Structure 1
Amino acid sequence: MTDLTRLTAAELADKIHTREVSSEEVTRAHLDRVAAVDDDVHAFLHVDADGALAAARAVDTTLDGGGAPVSPLAGVPLALKDVLTTRGLPTTCGSRTLENWLPPYDATVTRRLREAGVPVLGKTNMDEFAMGSSTENSAFGPTRNPWDRDRVPGGSGGGSSASLAAFEAPLAIGTDTGGSIRQPASVTGTVGVKPTYGGVSRYGLVAFSSSLDQAGPCARTVLDAALLHEVVGGHDPLDSTSVDTPVPPVVRAAREGAEGDLSGLTVGVVRELSGEGYQPGVLSSFEAAVDRLRSLGAEVVEVSCPHFTHGLSAYYLIAPSECSSNLARFDAMRYGLRVADDGEHGAEEVMSLSREAGFGAEVKRRIMLGTYALSSGYYDAYYGSAQKVRTLIARDFAAAYERVDVLVSPTTPTTAFRIGERVDDPMAMYLADLCTIPANLAGNAAMSVPSGLSDDDGLPVGLQIMAPALADDRLYRVGAAYETARGPVLDRIPELEGVASR
Structure 2
Amino acid sequence: MSTSFTSMTVSELQAALADGATSADVTRTYLDRIEAEDGVLGAYLHVDPEAALERAAAVDASGKAGTGLAGIPVALKDVVVTEGIPTTSGSRILEGWKPPYDATVAARLAAAGTVLLGKTNMDEFAMGSSTENSAYGVTRNPWNPERIPGGSSGGSSAAVAGGLAPWAIGTDTGGSIRQPAALTGLVGHKPTYGSVSRYGLIAFSSSLDQAGPMARTVLDAALLHEAIGGHDPLDSTSIDVPVPVLAECARRGAEGDLSGLKVGVVRELGGQGHTDGYEQGVLDRFTEAVALLESMGAEVREVSCPAFDLALPAYYLIAPSEASSNLSRFDGVRYGLRVGDDGNHDLDEVMALTREQGFGAEVKRRIILGTYALSSGYYEAYYGQAQKVRTLISRDFSAAYADVDVLVSPTTPTVAFPLGSRVDDPVAMYAADLCTLPASLAGVPAISVPCGLSDGLPVGFQVMAPALADERCYQVAAALEAAQDAARGSRFLDQLPRRDAEPVGGAA
TM > 0.5 between the two? yes
TM-superposition CA deviations, 1:360-387 (whole Å, max 9, x none): 0000000000000000000000000000
Question: For 1:303-452, what aligned pairs fall within 5 Å after superposition?
Answer: 303-452=303-452
The CA distance in 2 between the partners of 1:156 and 1:310, in whole Å, is 22
The answer to whether the 8 A contact 1:23-1:57 is kept is: yes
Question: For 1:83-162, what aligned pairs fall within 5 Å after superposition?
Answer: 83-162=79-158
Q: 1:16 Cα deviation (Å)?
A: 1.0
The CA distance in 2 between the partners of 1:58 and 1:258, in whole Å, is 35
149-158 or 490-499, larger mean C-alpha shift: 490-499
The CA distance in 2 between the partners of 1:478 and 1:54, in whole Å, is 39
**Aligned: 1:74 with 2:70:** yes
Match of 1:479 in 2: 477
The answer to whether the 8 A contact 1:177-1:209 is kept is: yes
Match of 1:215 in 2: 211
**Aligned: 1:4 with 2:5:** yes
Q: Matched residue of 1:143: which SS?
A: coil
The CA distance in 2 between the partners of 1:92 and 1:138, in whole Å, is 10
What TM-score results when the alignment is normalised by the length of structure 2?
Answer: 0.96
Amino acid at match of 2:494: D
Match of 2:284 in 1: 284
Question: For 1:22-33, what aligned pairs fall within 5 Å after superposition?
Answer: 22-33=22-33
Q: 1:166 Cα deviation (Å)?
A: 0.5
Q: 1:13 Cα deviation (Å)?
A: 1.1
The answer to whether the 8 A contact 1:170-1:219 is kept is: yes
TM-superposition CA deviations, 1:257-316 (whole Å, max 9, x none): 111111111111000000121001000000001001111111111000000000000000
The answer to whether the 8 A contact 2:39-2:505 is kept is: no
Amino acid at match of 2:238: S
Equivalences, count: 494
Question: For 1:32-71, what aligned pairs fall within 5 Å after superposition?
Answer: 32-63=32-63
- 1:158 and 1:2, CA in 2 relative to 1: closer, same or farther beyond 3 A? closer
The answer to whether the 8 A contact 1:139-1:360 is kept is: yes
The CA distance in 2 between the partners of 1:492 and 1:243, in whole Å, is 39
What TM-score results when the alignment is normalised by the length of structure 1?
Answer: 0.97
Match of 1:185 in 2: 181
Match of 1:492 in 2: 495
Q: Matched residue of 2:381: which SS?
A: helix
Q: Matched residue of 2:119: which SS?
A: strand
- 1:467 and 1:18, CA in 2 relative to 1: closer, same or farther beyond 3 A? same
Unaligned runs of 5+ in 1: none
Q: Matched residue of 1:273: which SS?
A: coil
The CA distance in 1 between the partners of 2:183 and 2:25, in whole Å, is 30
Unaligned runs of 5+ in 2: 486-490
Amino acid at match of 2:166: P
The answer to whether the 8 A contact 2:17-2:65 is kept is: no
Q: 1:56 Cα deviation (Å)?
A: 1.2
Q: Matched residue of 2:323: which SS?
A: helix
Match of 2:248 in 1: 252
Amino acid at match of 2:232: D
Q: 1:18 Cα deviation (Å)?
A: 3.3
The answer to whether the 8 A contact 2:59-2:65 is kept is: no
The CA distance in 2 between the partners of 1:48 and 1:313, in whole Å, is 41
> Could you tell me the percent identity over the aligned residues?
68
- 1:355 and 1:229, CA in 2 relative to 1: closer, same or farther beyond 3 A? same
Match 1:236 to one of 228, 232, 257: 232
RMSD of Structure 2 on Structure 1 (CA): 1.3
The answer to whether the 8 A contact 1:51-1:119 is kept is: no
Amino acid at match of 2:347: A
Amino acid at match of 1:122: G
Match of 1:266 in 2: 262
Q: 1:17 Cα deviation (Å)?
A: 2.6
Q: 1:203 Cα deviation (Å)?
A: 0.2
Amino acid at match of 1:10: S
The CA distance in 2 between the partners of 1:399 and 1:227, in whole Å, is 31
Q: Matched residue of 2:265: which SS?
A: strand
The answer to whether the 8 A contact 2:140-2:147 is kept is: yes
The CA distance in 1 between the partners of 2:56 and 2:116, in whole Å, is 9
Amino acid at match of 1:154: G
The CA distance in 1 between the partners of 2:383 and 2:103, in whole Å, is 30
The CA distance in 2 between the partners of 1:178 and 1:168, in whole Å, is 25
Q: 1:424 Cα deviation (Å)?
A: 0.3
The CA distance in 1 between the partners of 2:51 and 2:82, in whole Å, is 11
Q: 1:497 Cα deviation (Å)?
A: 4.0
TM-superposition CA deviations, 1:416-473 (whole Å, max 9, x none): 000000000000000000000000100000000000101xx21000000001110000
Amino acid at match of 2:137: G
The CA distance in 1 between the partners of 2:31 and 2:264, in whole Å, is 42
Amino acid at match of 2:384: G
TM-superposition CA deviations, 1:322-367 (whole Å, max 9, x none): 0000000000001111111100100000000000000000000000
Q: 1:499 Cα deviation (Å)?
A: 6.1
The answer to whether the 8 A contact 1:415-1:461 is kept is: yes
The CA distance in 1 between the partners of 2:129 and 2:431, in whole Å, is 9
Match of 1:195 in 2: 191
- 1:411 and 1:500, CA in 2 relative to 1: closer, same or farther beyond 3 A? farther
Match of 2:488 in 1: none
The answer to whether the 8 A contact 1:37-1:497 is kept is: no
Match of 1:17 in 2: 18
Amino acid at match of 1:435: C
Amino acid at match of 1:471: A
